[in-house]
Amino acid sequence: AQSVTQLGSHVSVSEGALVLLRCNYSSSVPPYLFWYVQYPNQGLQLLLKYTTGATLVKGINGFEAEFKKSETSFHLTKPSAHMSDAAEYFCAVSSWNNNDMRFGAGTRLTVKP
């Protein structure tokens, strides 16, 4: 069975500071990994995904994530936070032998002026 653990339910950063949201996964086969963002009372929007190939993945809005197999991690980063980045972020995992996508509990990002 696959699973995802997001470390830290709330993260607060100052505007212009580095954003780091942590995600660790568990999968018995090579995983497909995703980061989604959710604004209040809305659905989820894909930020980026890792399937195969390059382990550093760039997404929308200046976000990127690095797949580290040895650490079973897929942490999301952004060099400089904007106020508009305040939202909830979800890490998710799927694979070729699973029929569904599993999500973490989410991390709420607050950006202080």
Tell me how far apart the alpha carbons of residues 6 and 75 are, in angstroms, rounded to a whole number.
9
Judged by CB, which is closer to another protein: 66, or 103? 103
89 scored as a contact of another protein (CB under 8 A): no
Token pair in block for residue 52:
């195969």
Residue 81: CA count within 13 A, CB half-sphere: 21
Tell me how far apart the alpha carbons of residues 33 and 38 are, in angstroms, rounded to a whole number.
17
> Binding segment for another protein among 14-22, 63-71, 79-87, 95-103 (CB under 8 A)?
95-103
Considering only residues 17-76, where is the footprint of another protein by CB under 8 A? 32, 34, 36, 41-46, 49, 51-52
Tell me how far apart the alpha carbons of residues 32 and 51 are, in angstroms, rounded to a whole number.
5
Judged by CB, which is closer to another protein: 27, or 94? 94
Contact set with another protein (CB under 8 A) = 6, 9, 32, 34, 36, 41-46, 49, 51-52, 90, 92, 94-106
